[in-house]
Amino acid sequence: QGRMLTKEDKRNMMRLVARRNEHLKGGRVWEIMEYCITLVLMFILAFSIRATLFEPMRVKGSSMENTLMPGDYMAVEKLTYIFSSMKRGDVVICYYPKNDEYTCVKRIIGLPGDTVTILDGVVQVNGVTLKEDYVTTGMTAKHDGTYQVEEGCVFVMGDNRLVSRDSTDGMVGNIPKERVIGRVNRVLLPISHAKRLPKIEYDV
């Protein structure tokens, strides 16, 4: 007859089973390593998404009021222009020429080859007057002029024309396409400002 298992026997058996399961799982050290590797991969994925796909960015100036308000967090799509072309009316994040430190947010008004004419606050592209319901402020005489958009560049302006430093400024001029980071498609925060930016199309 077999003897009855004591409590100590049962505890020993449980320890043996636990050690066997630990061995099957690869051991405690492997579990920790696996956890750390998973965390690293998650961080790499998060930074990759931010660098190449999508990034929330904060509006710091007032040049795009009232479309974008200072302090708003906007969603910037970074793959848009890999698969589609830039369009007039798009709101974009870009670097000024010869300045890699600061970005700005502006609206594309002219595309390569376009002729942009501004007179008395009215903007024309290739002789067609733009309907700009998003503009809430006028312009001064300093904006008046005719601007030719070079190949490989876009002509950008802010919606708040009185304070915007944009392509009408001789120190800025046309923005090379490679200096456009991405397109702004919506406001994320604050919740009271959250919205999808309307698609703007001109009859040009």
**Own/partner long-range contacts of 44-53 (Cβ < 8 Å, ≥24 apart):** 51/78, 52/78, 52/79, 53/77, 53/78, 53/79
List 7, 63, 164, 192, catalytic entry: 63
Q: Which of 86, 84, 56 is nearest to 189 (CA)?
A: 56
| Burial state string for 145-167 with b = 16 or more CB within 10 A and e = fewer than 16 | eebebeeebbbbbbbbbeebebb
Q: Which of 7, 98, 106, 142 is catalytic?
A: 106
- Catalytic-residue membership of 63: yes
CA distance 73 to 188: 5
Residue 106 appears among annotated catalytic residues = yes
SS (H, E, C) 68-116: CCCCCEEEEECCHHHHCCCCCCCEEEEECCCCCCCEEEEEEEECCCCEE
Collapsing DSSP states into helix, strand and coil, what is residue 187? strand
* Active site (catalytic) residues: 63, 106
